A and B are shown apart, each in its own frame.
Chain A
Amino acid sequence: MRRTVGVAVVSTAALLVTGCGGGGPQSSGDGKLSGDRIVLGVLNDQSGVYLELSGKNSVKAVELAIADFKKKYGDDAVTTDITVETADHQNKPDIANTKAAEMYDRKAVDLILDVPTSSAAEKVADVAKEKKKLYFNIGAATTTLTGAKCNRYTFHYAYDTYMLANGTGRNTTEQGAKNWYVLYPNYQFGQDMERSFSAAITGAGGKVVAKDAAPFPNTSGDYSTYLLKAPTLNPKPDVLGTMQAGAELVNVVKQYNEFKLREKGVGLAVGLMFLTDIHSLTPDALAGTTYTDAWYWNFDQRNREFADRFKEATGTRPTFAHAANYSAATQYLEAVQAAGTDDADTIVDALEGKTVDDVFLRNGKIRAEDHRVVHDAYLAQVKPAAEVTEEWDYVKILKTIPAAEAFRAPSPDCRM
Chain B
Amino acid sequence: MTGFLQNTFNGLVSGAFYALLALGLAVIFGMLRVVNFAHGAFYMLGAFGAYVLLAEAGVPFWAALVIMPVGLGLLGMALERAFIHRLTRLDPLYNFLLTFGLTLILQDLVKLRYGVQSSPYATPAELSGSVDLGLFDFPTYRVFILVFAVAVCVAAWWLLGHTRVGMVVRAATERPELTRAFGIDVGRWITPVFGFGIALAALAGVLAAPMRAVNPLMGADLIIVVFAVVVIGGLGSIFGSVAAGFGIGLIQAWGEAYLSDWPILSQTIVFIVMAVVLLWRPAGLFGREEAPA
Contacts and interface: CB of A to CB of B under 8 A. Distances in A.
Contacts of A282: 120, 122
A250 interface: yes
Nearest to A22: B108
A272 to B, nearest CB: 15
A404 interface: no
A276 B213 CA distance: 14
A338 interface: no
A13 B37 contact: yes
Interface in B141-194: 141-142
Interface string A379-393: 000000000000000
A2 B287 contact: yes
**Size category of the binding interface on chain A:** 35 or more
Interface stretch (A75-83, A210-218, A357-365): A210-218
A353 B210 CA distance: 50
A276 B116 CA distance: 11
B96 A13 contact: no
B42 to A, nearest CB: 14
Determine chain A's interface SS by DSSP, over half rule: helix
Given A225-B10, A225-B257, A247-B217, A220 B267 contact: no
A51 B115 contact: yes
A258 interface: yes
Contacts of B125: none
B213 A251 contact: yes
Determine chain B's interface SS by DSSP, over half rule: helix
B37 A221 contact: no
A10 B274 contact: yes
A228 B7 contact: yes
A277 B115 CA distance: 12
A254 B212 contact: yes
Contacts of B263: 186, 212-215
Contacts of B24: none
Given A1-B290, A186-B264, A247-B215, A226 B116 contact: no
Contacts of B264: 186
Interface of B: 3, 6-7, 10, 13-14, 35, 37, 40, 92, 96, 100, 103-104, 107-108, 111, 115-120, 122-123, 130, 139, 141-142, 208, 210-213, 215, 217-218, 220-225, 227-228, 230-231, 234-236, 249, 252-253, 256-257, 260, 263-264, 266-267, 270, 274, 278, 282-284, 287, 289-290, 292-293
Given A3-B282, A14-B224, A254-B211, 6 more contacts: A2-B236, A13-B224, A224-B6, A228-B10, A251-B213, A255-B211
6 contacts: A20-B104, A49-B217, A51-B115, A213-B260, A222-B253, A247-B118
